[in-house]
Amino acid sequence: MKQILWTAGLIVALSGAAAPALAHHSLQSEYDINQSITLKGTVTKVDWVNPHVYVYLDVKDDKGVVTKWAVTTLPPGNLRRGGLTRDLLGYGETVSILAFRARDGANLAFLRTITFADGHKLEIWLGDATKENP
Amino acid sequence: MTKHLVVAGAALLLAGSPALAQRGRAGGAGAEANAAAAAKPTPRAADGHPDLTGLWAGGAEPVKALAPGESTRILFPVRTGPDDKRIFDEMDRAAKERQAAEPNKPPYKPELMEKVQLLSDKRQFNDPSFYCKPLGVPRMGPPSQVVQSPGLVVLLYQGRNTFRTIPTDGRAHNADADWTWNGDSVGRWDGDTFVIDTTKLVEDSWLGADGWFHSNKMHVVERLTRKGDTLTWSATVDDPVVFTKPWEMTPRTLRLNPNAKALLEEDPPCLEQDGPHIVTDDHH
């Protein structure tokens, strides 16, 4: 069963002159939507902090060489309202992460989906759910 | 079961978001809900003044955590589909449209407009709140919770776990106070309106993300008015160094959290890690 809960509708309310900072930074300024990457590795740390939650990952290649990656997502408040807690982000688990790479070439990406070993998924993303394929 | 959840959008990328869920909209269902809440009796303290005490933030329903192994989809609302490759651009465009449509901008002196624009264009490197510094008074807006007692009103803000203590015993400003982000405040009642007078505000804060800087001569007068189960916050900002006249900020009306057991949640710490990776001047 799919359950769609709309708790939005607050953008108008926050567009007032001195509403608290509407946003942190432009995703466009840091990440490339055309550079998707799938990272398979072990979650070594979850930084449950503002302004963005970070998930750190050790990714091992075919030769056993480990590369460290950081994957960032929405603020903790957004995740919390979505039912997530930090312990649900896979610390210590092997996961597959779909994300979009940082423009500066760092081992940094913006999260879209975490898929866990048992098959369950957390998609934390952007968009209008009524416009899946515009 | 996969849940589809569209999160409260305005909080995106916001380091702490006070009073989100109960904030009334300017029109539509929010205005109706505000009117219904305002029609309720206004509680009064022993001294006869309205009692502002209450939680003015958070949702009526407690946040439910997902079960381990449960899938979910959390979408921050953007006016395009999740697979649209323009989705990052769309976020910036929508935010700029909202800002351009903002009718109430601070009345800067003409010779300072160029500086405001420069700061705004490079906000990702200039905005103090971007790098986890406090929003400060008055950018922090209305409180998330008020605790009113004789001689003292305590204001709590969920964002950055912030507090302010406002004396109401008739004292004058503290001449020895240092300049701070929330300044030196004293409170008084003007009829049924609680008036907070704040001085000694550091010039490090901004009044909004559009490069709205100010001087340390800024003087802020906030007003809190309770009608029924609504709380309306407004502020007058005077800064003779940068403004041509005092600026009336756009008032905001909050509704009391109807859940008597609801508690203000701790805001996680702020640790900015993106600045070094920003490679363009794109901004919201």
Name the phi and psi angles at B56, rounded to 5: -110, 30
Domain ranges of chain B: 28-58+102-256
Beta strands (DSSP E) in B62-179 are: 71-76, 145-149, 152-157, 162-167
- What pLDDT does B119 receive? 95
Residue B30: per-residue pLDDT = 87
Is some CB atom of chain B closer than 8 A to the CB atom of A88? yes
Question: Would you tell me how many other CB atoms lie within 10 Å of the CB of residue B171?
Answer: 10
Q: Do B76 and A102 touch (CB under 8 A)?
A: no
Task: Single out the residue of B168, B139, B146, B123 nearest to residue B224, CA to CA.
Answer: B146
Rounding to the nearest 10 degrees, give the CA dihedral for residues A32, A34, A37, A38.
130
User: What's the pLDDT tens digit per position in A30-73?
Assistant: 899 999 999 999 999 999 999 999 999 999 999 999 999 999 99
Q: How far is CA B136 from the centre of its chain?
A: 10
Task: Note whether A126 contacts B249, CB cutoff 8 Å.
Answer: no
Report the relative pairing of strands A121-126 and B71-76 from DSSP bridges. parallel
Nearest CA-CA distance, residue B122 and chain A, Å? 11
Nearest to B88 among A28, A52, A54 (CB): A28
How far apart (Å, rounded) are the C-alpha atoms in residues B257 and B190?
Answer: 25
- Our CA dihedral for B265, B269, B275, B277, rounded to 10 degrees, sits at -90
Q: What integer pLDDT is reported at residue B6 of this predicted model?
A: 62
Determine, for residues A28 and B280 on separate chains, whether the beta-carbon distance falls below 8 Å: yes
Query: What's the CATH class of domain A26-123?
Result: mainly beta
Q: Check pLDDT > 70 for residue A12.
A: no
Tens digits of pLDDT across chain B (284 residues): 556 566 544 333 333 333 333 434 445 678 999 999 999 999 999 999 999 999 999 887 888 999 999 999 999 989 999 999 999 999 888 888 888 888 999 999 999 999 999 999 888 889 999 889 999 999 999 999 999 999 999 999 999 999 999 999 999 999 999 999 999 999 999 999 999 999 999 999 999 989 999 999 999 999 999 999 999 999 999 999 999 999 999 999 999 999 999 999 999 999 988 878 887 777 66
Q: What is the pTM of this model?
A: 0.86
Strand A66-72 to A108-116 pairing = parallel
**pLDDT, greater one: B19 or A109:** A109
